[in-house]
Structure 1
Amino acid sequence: MRLTIFGATGGIGRRLVGQAVAAGHDVTAVVRNPQALTADVRTVTADLASPDPAVLRSAVRGTDAVLSGLGPRGKGEFGIASRGTEAIIEAMKATDVRRIVVISVAGISTIPTPGRPNPPKRDPGMGWFMRNVLSPMAKARLGRHYADVAMMEDLLRDSGLDWTAVGVPLLTDKPPTGTYRTAYGQSVRGGRRVTRADAAHFMLRAIEQPETIGKSIAIAN
């Protein structure tokens, strides 16, 4: 399968590239800094903060699916998830590519957006401690990023593409377990962490799972 991976040098992106190559896929990695990529794959240099539409079209043209690990690496990159994903969507539409799987945040369904101004007040997958302690702490620290990711999911819902958003809780660099849990439309009950390797593994699996299309799916160990 031909795959185009955005954010290929990030924590999840590197694992997406490595696992995709190991599985025998033909990979195009879209990166801002090619020197940071160690895998022997086709590389396209692009800055999703100020994308060149022609470059992005060349990156996705003829691919079977797009995977995105986009996320901010610092406060100065606020907005990268929504702006970058919007540019990817436009490139996919221009080149008749339909399948996209992106990394998102677990529990994002409770964040209001212009497209969903009155979201559910409670994520049914969150227990008392997560809902009343951990989630408010995370929103206080990462609220702007969460709002940006929620906007990204708005864009996907309105895109008309075959999209899947994979919501992650706290990410770790532990080895892959292969025994993660998933939940559709809500957080995984008691799921506070997931390894980046497991998140990448599920994203690659989801490409060929029609039941994941048009869904936000949380994952946790």
Structure 2
Amino acid sequence: MRLAIFAATGGVGRHLVDQALEAGHEVRAVVRRPQALHRELPVVTVDLSDPDPEMLVRAISGVDVVCSCLGPRGRSEIGVLSPGTRVIIDAMNKAGAQRIVAVSGASVSTVPRPGRPNPPGREPGDVAMMEDALRSSDLDWTAVRAPLLTKGPLPGNYRMAEGHNVPRGFRLSRADTAHFMLSTLDNPDTVKRALAVAY
């Protein structure tokens, strides 16, 4: 399959690039800093905070699946997920692309309730708005709700849940996050679903 991987230089993105290439997929990296790429492959330079619309559509045109590994690198970048995803959705509509698999967060289910009356913080709120953007689109989307991401290996023994977080599932390696994303690419059972994954 032909993949466009956004944030291909990030923690999950690097693993996704490596595993996708090993699986025989064609990969196009969509990044802010092409010099940070660890592999030689087709690249499109796009800053989603101030994107060139034509360049963004070109980045997506002709691919089978868009993989979004967007996420804040630090506290100063909290809030980038939902606006960046909306930009990607708009470009996908213009390019005629239909399938997107996006990294989300386990914290998205942290909503006000009697036992926890305070609303979600800034980061969970951004994640929730990102998923809302996916749900309101006409795309074939999958949201991968990952917990705390680690630098661990690729054991592949993670668990999955829908509608709630994985019970006592507090961690997942970036390698396994990428592994699960790849497993959803052409799996119709994962379309229009938010799936939590953890050990």
Q: TM-score, normalised by structure 1?
A: 0.85
Within 5 A, what are the aligned runs for 1:36-185? 36-111=36-111, 121=113, 143-185=121-163
Mean Cα deviation higher: 63-72 or 73-82: 73-82
> What's the counterpart of residue 4 of structure 2?
4
CA distance in 1, matches of 2:109, 2:165: 9
Q: 2:165 aligns with which of 166, 187, 190?
A: 187
CA distance in 1, matches of 2:166, 2:136: 25
Contact 2:107 2:124 in 1 (8 A): no
CA distance in 1, matches of 2:99, 2:150: 27
1:106-147 Cα offsets, whole Å, 9 max, x none, are: 1413437xxxxxxxx49xxxxxxxx98xxx9xx6xxx21111
Q: Which amino acid aligns with 1:211?
A: D
Contact 1:180 1:219 in 2 (8 A): yes
> What's the counterpart of residue 117 of structure 1?
none
Q: TM-score, normalised by structure 2?
A: 0.94
Q: Which amino acid aligns with 2:101?
A: V
Unaligned runs of 5+ in 2: none
CA distance in 2, matches of 1:4, 1:178: 23
> What's the counterpart of residue 21 of structure 1?
21
> What's the counterpart of residue 116 of structure 1?
none
Paired residue total: 197
Give secondary structure in 2 for the equivalent of 1:70.
coil
Contact 1:107 1:186 in 2 (8 A): no
- Shift in alpha-carbon separation, 1:89–1:186, aligned structure 2, 3 A: same
2:30 equivalent to 1:30:
yes
CA distance in 2, matches of 1:104, 1:35: 26
- Shift in alpha-carbon separation, 1:4–1:80, aligned structure 2, 3 A: same
CA distance in 2, matches of 1:162, 1:18: 24
CA distance in 2, matches of 1:86, 1:111: 22
Give secondary structure in 2 for the equivalent of 1:159.
coil
* Higher share in helix: 1
Contact 2:110 2:124 in 1 (8 A): no
CA distance in 2, matches of 1:186, 1:18: 30
Q: Which amino acid aligns with 2:73?
A: R
Q: Among all aligned residue pairs of Structure 1 and Structure 2, give the percentage whose two residues are the same amino acid.
A: 53
Contact 1:165 1:216 in 2 (8 A): yes
2:195 equivalent to 1:214:
no
Post-superposition offset of 1:82: 0.7
Give secondary structure in 1 for the equivalent of 2:136.
helix
Contact 2:106 2:165 in 1 (8 A): yes
Unaligned runs of 5+ in 1: 113-120, 123-130
